[in-house]
Amino acid sequence: DIQMTQSPSSLSASIGDRVTITCQASRDIRNYLNWYQQTPGKAPKLLIYAASTLETGVPSRFSGRGSGTDFTLTISSLEPEDIATYYCQQYDRVPITFGQGTRVEIK
Amino acid sequence: QPQLQESGPGLVKPPETLSLTCSVSGDSISRSTYFWGWIRQPPGKGLEWIGSIYYTGSTYYNPSLESRVTISIDTSNNQFSLDLSSVTAADTAVYYCARSWVVVTARGYFDLWGRGTRVTVSS
């Protein structure tokens, strides 16, 4: 299985801060990497697919970069509604695997 | 507006079989552009892919669960189902059904999710 490792596991930031979450794959996954946002009690929501393509309707303050084994999700200016847990997911190989999640909180 | 809705019992006794159905509305389950998948999330933990099915009936399972999982599809009723046999307390989780665009065989991005259904395994 391809292991997906996110860092940090949690972070605390102020409104307006730039926030970056990293995701590292245990092997080359090309750009087959998605990012999801999950708020408590809700289903995950797709933010970015194919490493850098913004899903329709997702605010432009979210962006994704990377290829191969190293990827980042950036929130350019943190908003209160961005408080959530973020997951990366690879689809280069079966089984599809997710990172362990990064919880974003307000400082 | 396409929607997915999970249904099934909220409590299952070990070692019985957990059975869930996902009803798809506002879209056809037979579109060649989609896979249909099941993902679960144990309490306080992360996401685990269980498996996916194509409208043709082709299935792809997580090897960690493959011996206990069956996913089936009913195109006439626009729904697909999950059976997980010999359940234990470790199978307690919120179970989500989701739609995936096909990028490569059996894989892609899950762009539409059901609200999830909580299943507790307990005697």
Sequential DSSP letters for B14-71 = TTS-EEEEEEEESS-TT-TTEEEEEEEE-TTS--EEEEEE-TTS-EEE-TTTTTTEEE
* Tens-digit pLDDT profile for residues A22-72: 999 999 999 999 999 999 999 999 999 999 999 999 999 999 999 999 999
Whether the per-residue pLDDT at A15 is higher than 80: the answer is: yes
Q: Give the closest-approach CA distance of B71 to chain A in angstroms.
A: 15
Whether the per-residue pLDDT at B50 is higher than 90: the answer is: yes
The mean pLDDT value of chain B amounts to 96
Q: Is the dihedral of CA B51, B8, B96, B44 positive or negative?
A: negative
Q: Which of A30-34, A77-81, B67-71, B107-111 has the lowest mean pLDDT?
A: B107-111
Residues in chain B within 8 Å Cβ distance of A86: none
- Please report which confidence band the pLDDT of residue A87 belongs to, taking 50, 70 and 90 as the band edges: very high
Interface of B with A in 104-123 (CB under 8 A): 104, 106-111, 113-116
The mean pLDDT value of chain A amounts to 97
B86 — phi, psi (to 5°)?
A: 50, 50
Nearest CA in chain A to B45: A100
**pLDDT at site B104:** 82
The answer to whether the CB atoms of A95 and B64 lie below 8 A apart is yes
Tokens 């909220």: give the residue: B10
* Tens-digit pLDDT profile for residues B101-115: 988 877 889 999 999
Rounded to 5°, angle at Cα A43 from A37 and A49? 45
**pLDDT at site B103:** 82
